[in-house]
Amino acid sequence: METNVIELRDICKSFYGVQVLKNINLDLKVGEALCIAGENGSGKSTLIKIISGAYTYDYGTLKINGREYPTISPSQSISEGIQVIYQDFSLFPNLTVADNIGLGYHLLEDKKLFSKQACRKIAKQSLQRIGVEMDLERLVEDIPVAQKQIVAIARAIMQDAKVIIMDEPTTALTQKEINRLYEIINKLKESGVSIIFVSHKLDEIFAVCDRIFVIRNGKEVANYPVDQFERGKLSFYMTGSEVYEEPFEPEEIGEEPIFEVNSLAFKDYFRDISFAIKRGEILCITGRLGSGRTELAKSLFGVLPLTEGTVTLRGEQINIRSVPEAIKNKIAYVPDDRLAEGIFLEASIKNNLVSVVLNDIASKIGFLKEKTKDGPAKEWQEKLAIQANLEDPGKSLSGGNQQRVVLGKWLASTPDVFVMNCPTVGVDVKSKSEIHILIRELASQNIAVLLISDDIGEILNNSNRVIVMNDGRISYEAETKNLDYDSLSAKITEII
């Protein structure tokens, strides 16, 4: 007989008179992997926070392990075995792997003295349960993102997790690391741990989940076993419209390169990097984390000054030893971490959208009237369908709208070269499709587009050439029309 570890009945939640969850009914079975899917702003995060005790619900019934909770606190949720692994993992970077995993044990058991030996023992047992070996004495700040995630999972297991909620768990992982995470999730399921998996990525939803629960505008729109969904059908449920992308094919490729680099190097991070981008092309660079791809992107934007090589734009050699030089040469850059590097969270959306072109819209003596910002800001708000008040802060936006703002501020500068480092990370299906359309439009407008991504589907559908980096060098180059998912994945994970 199947047992429900979580039961939600007619759950409703409002903020300031706006209803964000409407009569949600949801069960989670023991050992089941459930995907909660939906666009940004659909209500997914609110639902998770109700289950974890961070938010109280207005109406309805919540049961965990058969016990009804009219209200539930975070500590009560944890005591019932609910563990949430957020995107930042909430680890202590200055503590060791063992300390991060074992510290919770001391708190739960109300230990008066901290025991390093006990931490090591607990950490080793937790990692063995998911079939992983790690250096327990390494500081968490020194380990890769994938290992940080494993530490967070091991910590949850140590706290006797019955349900582990994973919020966008593969955002910063390579395909090889994602496959490893799938193996860990399957081990957890076999041991009776239930998984709530929150993701925008259709590939991983179908790879790891038993059932999919879709929310749109705070309402349940679908709740079926995964084998009853098709990709197009899931996208339709999530967005309310059909989202389908034809593979990118350049309408016409120019004769001469717009942007060309030769023998680029930056310290020990990458070397001997050469490529050219012609009008109409979208070139993608991919590779595992640590391959040098992000350092290359930052060097092309002047964040990390090149130590060797030449850069040519429209036939003329240019210097990009700093960010101001890159901007002067009409190079735009969308970073992979928009929250830390892409958007001013406290500034208004309007100020974000005009931040790159302030010198262009200011008077000759440097004065800038507030009304002067309105025109360019409204223009890009309309062109990119940013659904918000321009006076609202950047932090008030969903992930998809934040990324639109980041794109908009650079598009306002009319770039000749657009370097996009993982531009669709953490955005919903509809926003992702719209960003892909924008990338294709840029390529058709005589702009050199360099896409950096580890999303294989994105690479194959939205570039005509791909370069794979491995250990700081180009290890493989091909036209994407000659590749499929498995062959490209093998090249990315191949060790040279």
pLDDT at 182: 86
Strand 270-278 to strand 316-318: parallel, antiparallel, or no bridges (unpaired)? Answer: unpaired
Structure tokens belonging to residue 316: 């003329």
What does the pLDDT look like over 61-73, one tens digit per residue?
999 999 999 999 9
pLDDT bin (cut points 50, 70, 90) of residue 1 is very low
Two tokens, residue 332:
């735009």
What is each CA distance from 255 to 276, 279, 467, in whole angstroms? 11, 8, 20
- CB-based contact 50:62 (threshold 8 Å): yes
Q: What is the mean pLDDT of residues 128-133?
A: 82
Q: How many residues does the chain have?
A: 496
The mean pLDDT of 448-470, rounded to a whole number, is 91
Of 24-38, 64-78, 147-161, minimum mean pLDDT range: 147-161
Can you give the pLDDT at residue 173? 66
Residue 432 has pLDDT above 60, yes or no: yes
Confidence of residue 495 (pLDDT cuts 50, 70, 90): low
> What's the rounded mean pLDDT across residues 99-103?
85
Average pLDDT over residues 384-395: 86
Cβ burial 21-37 (10 Å sphere, 16+ → b, else e): bbebebbbebbbbbbbb
Which pLDDT score is estimated for 143?
A: 83
d(Cα 368, Cα 237) in Å, to the nearest integer?
A: 45
The tens digit of pLDDT for each residue in 273-304 reads 999 999 999 999 998 877 899 999 999 999 99
Output the pLDDT for position 383. 86
Average pLDDT over every residue of 420-441: 84
The pLDDT score that the predictor gives to residue 355 is 85
Question: Who has greater pLDDT, 29 or 38?
Answer: 29
CATH 3.40.50.300, domain 257-493, yes or no: yes
CB atoms within 10 A of CB 458: 22
CATH 3.40.50.300 fits 4-239, yes or no: yes
Q: DSSP secondary structure string, 74-89?
A: HHHHHHTTEEEE-TTT
Contacts of 87 (CB under 8 A, 6+ apart): 167, 168, 169, 171, 426
Each residue's pLDDT tens digit, 223-236? 999 988 877 777 77
In this prediction, residue 109 carries a pLDDT of: 62
Interior angle at CA 410, CA 405 and CA 415, nearest 5: 155
Q: What integer best gives the mean pLDDT of the chain?
A: 86
With bands split at pLDDT 50, 70 and 90, how would you rate the model's confidence at 200?
A: low
pLDDT at position 2 is 53
Q: Is the pLDDT of residue 163 over 90?
A: yes
Report percent pLDDT > 90 for the chain: 38
HEC-encoded secondary structure of 17-56: CEEEEEEEEEEEECCCEEEEECCCCCCHHHHHHHHCCCCC
State the pLDDT at residue 174. 65
Q: Which part of the chain has CATH 3.40.50.300? A: 4-239, 257-493
Least confident of 74-78, 429-433, 469-473: 429-433
The stretch 413-433 carries a mean pLDDT of: 85
Task: Using the predicted structure, report yes or no on whether residue 339 has a pLDDT greater than 80.
Answer: no
Q: Is the pLDDT of residue 362 over 80?
A: no
Please tell me what DSSP assigns to residue 226: G
